Amino acid sequence: MKLVKHIANLGYGSRKDVQRMFREGRITDAAGEVLYADDPLDHDNVRVDGEPLDLPPGLLLMLHKPIGYTCSMKDPGRIVFDLLPPRFRERNPTLSTVGRLDRDTSGVLLFTDDGQLLHRIIAPKSKLPKVYLATLADDLRGNEAALFASGTLMLDNEKTPLLPAELEPLDARRARLVLHEGRYHQVRRMFAAIGHHVQALHRERIGGLTLGDLPEGQWRALDTDDRDQLFAGESA
Ligand code: URA
């Protein structure tokens, strides 16, 4: 691929914009030598205004999602993409969220531009556990874990029962819930199905990957160790 196309695909501008940047001498190699639009692609050696290029395609990011942000691009309010560099919205291949969290859910949210990877994480047959911390409006009654583990619980308007899920009560109104599938608003609907209202919801973990010390509202790119950790949870 030509350098100009690669840089445009990373969201730095249209091909025309990037061509202009070349003409203005803003695109150089690491030693400061001016590069040209059809120079061969050597991603790590390219600088724009002296700065290294954004990460190449094949990106996997983790965001510590705060409440109040939606995962939809079309929402008129605050969206999770507002928390990433603006260029990331312009990338080709497109960067998208790996599944979704509700506006009122916080925690681990992944993004990728790699369709196969996305599928591996969220496909119905993916074995990656998703771990949530739920705070309820009322006290736990004691029968919730058995209902969720039964493999027979049905959600409204669905034809197949939920897979068994593990619930661990933490105190009177808080519980950790491990899911092995991902249905629309699943946690809130599961609790609603057994007569509970979820007041707060936080995703702690996907596979073996937790937020660690990533502050709320911040993101980081995931490296190969992180990816290993993500899929280490595959058989958990
Ligand atoms: N289940 C929900 O109800 N909401 C989420 O955001 C994620 C899982």
Q: Is the pLDDT at 233 greater than 60, yes or no?
A: no
pLDDT given at position 196: 98
pLDDT > 60? residue 184: yes
Residue found under tokens 């009122």: 104
User: Each residue of 85-138: pLDDT tens digit?
Assistant: 999 999 999 999 999 999 999 999 999 999 999 999 998 777 799 999 999 999
Bridge partners, residue 168, by sequence: 176
188 lines ligand 1 (CB under 6 A): yes
What is the pLDDT at residue 180? 94
The pLDDT of residue 162 is above 80: yes
* Token digits of residue 147: 């209902």
pLDDT at 210 over 70: yes
Residue with tokens 């929402």: 75
- Residue 102 is a catalytic residue: yes
Spatial strand order of the sheet with 51-52 comes to 27-29, 46-48, 51-52
The arithmetic mean of pLDDT across residues 157-172, rounded, is 96
Q: Is the CB of 187 under 6 A from ligand 1?
A: yes
Show the tokens assigned to 139: 């006290």
Q: pLDDT-based confidence at 232, cuts 50/70/90?
A: confident
- In sign, the C-alpha dihedral spanning 26, 19, 90, 55 is negative
Tell me if 162 CB under 6 Å of ligand 1: no
Q: Which residue minimizes the CA distance to atom 2 of ligand 1? A: 185
Pick the range with the lowest mean pLDDT from 52-66, 119-133, 182-196.
119-133
Q: State if residue 131 touches ligand 1 by the CB under 6 angstroms criterion.
A: no
Q: Is 102 in the pocket of ligand 1 (CB under 6 A)?
A: yes
Q: What phi, psi does 179 have (nearest 5°)?
A: -110, 150
Q: Is pLDDT of 234 > 80?
A: no
Q: Which of 102, 104, 114, 226 is catalytic?
A: 102
**Nearest partner of 186 among 148, 141, 216, 138, judged by Cα:** 148
**Minimum-distance ligand 1 atom for the alpha carbon of 203:** 7
Closest alpha carbon to 103 in 129, 130, 128, 79: 79
Q: What is the rounded average pLDDT of the residues 160-172?
A: 97
* pLDDT > 60? residue 236: no
Whether the per-residue pLDDT at 52 is higher than 60: the answer is yes
Three-state DSSP class for residue 202: strand
Nearest CA to ligand 1 atom 3: 185
Query: 1 CA distance to ligand 1 centroid (A)?
Result: 40
What confidence score (pLDDT) does residue 123 get?
84
Is there a contact between 91 and 10 (Cβ–Cβ < 8 Å)?
Answer: yes
Rounded to 5, what percent of the chain is helix, strand, coil? 30, 25, 50
Res 194 pLDDT > 70: yes
Taking only the tens place, the pLDDT of each residue in 19-37 is 999 999 999 999 999 999 9
Distance of CA 115 from the midpoint of ligand 1 (Å): 22
Paired tokens of 118 = 């996305």
Atom of ligand 1 nearest to the CA of 198: 3
Helices (DSSP H) in the chain: which residue ranges?
3-7, 15-23, 115-122, 144-149, 186-193, 224-232
Answer whether 122 contacts ligand 1 (Cβ < 6 A). no
Q: How many Cα atoms within 13 Å fall on the side-chain side of residue 86? A: 2
What's the number of CA atoms in the CB half-sphere (13 Å) around residue 137? 8
CA of 190, closest atom in ligand 1: 3
Task: Tell me how far apart the alpha carbons of residues 159 and 186 are, in angstroms, rounded to a whole number.
Answer: 14
Residue 126 confidence (pLDDT)? 78
Residues 6+ apart with CB under 8 A from 85: 54
Question: Strands (DSSP E) along the chain, which ranges?
Answer: 27-29, 46-48, 51-52, 60-65, 96-97, 105-112, 130-136, 166-169, 174-179, 198-206, 209-210, 219-221
The mean pLDDT of the chain is 95
> Which domains are present in the chain?
3-52 (3.10.290.10), 60-124+208-233 (3.30.70.580), 129-206 (3.30.70.1560)
Q: Is there an atom of ligand 1 within 6 Å of 67 CB? A: no
- Model pLDDT, residue 226: 97
pLDDT at 35: 96
HSE-up of residue 175 (Cα within 13 Å, Cβ side):
29
Expressed in angstroms and rounded, the spacing between residue 53 Cα and the centre of ligand 1 is: 35
Share of the chain above pLDDT 70, in %: 98
